[in-house]
Amino acid sequence: MPLADLVPDALDLFDDWPTEPRVHHHGARAFDDLLTMAEVDRLIDHDCLPNRNVRIIHDGETVDDRDYSATPDMPNPGAVRRYLDAGCSLSIRRLQTLKPSLSALRREVARQTGYETHFNAYLTPPRQHGLRYHFDPYVTLVIQIHGEKVWPLHRPFVANPVEEYENFRRRGFTEQERKYLATEPPAQEFTLKAGDVFWLPRGWVHSPHNRDGDAPSLHLTFALKQRTLHWAAEEVTGVITRHILDDAEARDGIPPAQLLGHTETVVKDVREVLIAALAAMDPAEMAATLRRAALTEGPLPASPLRHGLRP
């Protein structure tokens, strides 16, 4: 199942990544090959979910796993179901590590986009709330599997948040932002039904909940972690600094008198070395390295600098 099976205009996305939310409608059983409510029930009731994949959410907060686990590895038998029956929500983290079809889709979309990806699932009982208002540092495709989920949205407070900058888990909301969320109506609201795919751009503030009085809501969140110029700069400078190690002078010691007394001289020398290394860089080879880095999990040791050129 390629990205186009989730988002019909997927080819257009590669040139113009949408920054506004949108919903794509599919049939109610369109994604049975990815996940079903019955499968999730079996995972829960047969105690197949290890602690590393489980987050129980109560009133917007994550429950400490020590409250429902006697061992570090697995929840107590029946504990997850008891929390759900009490009105808590369940997040199944990194679901692609448990289900081959999701692992295959994750890898296929990663090859199409060059982006890191992962799947989480969220199960929310009738008339209950999951996470309270927050925002994510990545684009999310929300795939509604069962029931309905209401998504109130506020426009981003932060432009282009990433894991390393203005990540909600670290910054939270300012007092002014909290007052705004408490008093202002959502800018948009979507109600997702089974078979809907919701494009949620990064940074949009959301607090999804299940208003249905009868059925639980189950959805997948498919995170697409966009590559950025900051990411590309880190890759390029990482390759350059590894290459500079080939120069014996770059490995020479800095005398204490320079390091502590004339430090500006050291900074100027470093600047010259970096500028020379950038000038020596072969753009075509570096482009190939960036493409390889986008498609490879983990760091790459390859250097695209012209062999033998000394900064």
In this predicted structure, what is the pLDDT of residue 105? 93
**What per-residue confidence (pLDDT) applies to 1?**
62
- Asked if residues 217 and 131 have their Cβ atoms less than 8 Å apart, the reply is no
Chain centre to alpha carbon of residue 6: 18
Q: What is the model's pLDDT at position 213?
A: 83
| pLDDT in the model for residue 311 | 31
**Left, alpha or beta for 28 (phi > 0: left; psi -120 to 50: alpha)?**
alpha
> Can you give the pLDDT at residue 89?
97
pLDDT at residue number 307: 35
Q: Torsion angle, CA of 75/76/81/82, rounded to 10 degrees?
A: -130
Half-sphere exposure of 268 (CA within 13 A, CB side): 5
The greatest distance separating any two alpha carbons of the chain, rounded to the nearest whole angstrom, comes to 75
pLDDT computed for residue 286 by the predictor: 92
Residues in the chain, pLDDT under 50: 299-311
Distance CA 138, CA 164 (A): 12
- Confidence (pTM): 0.88
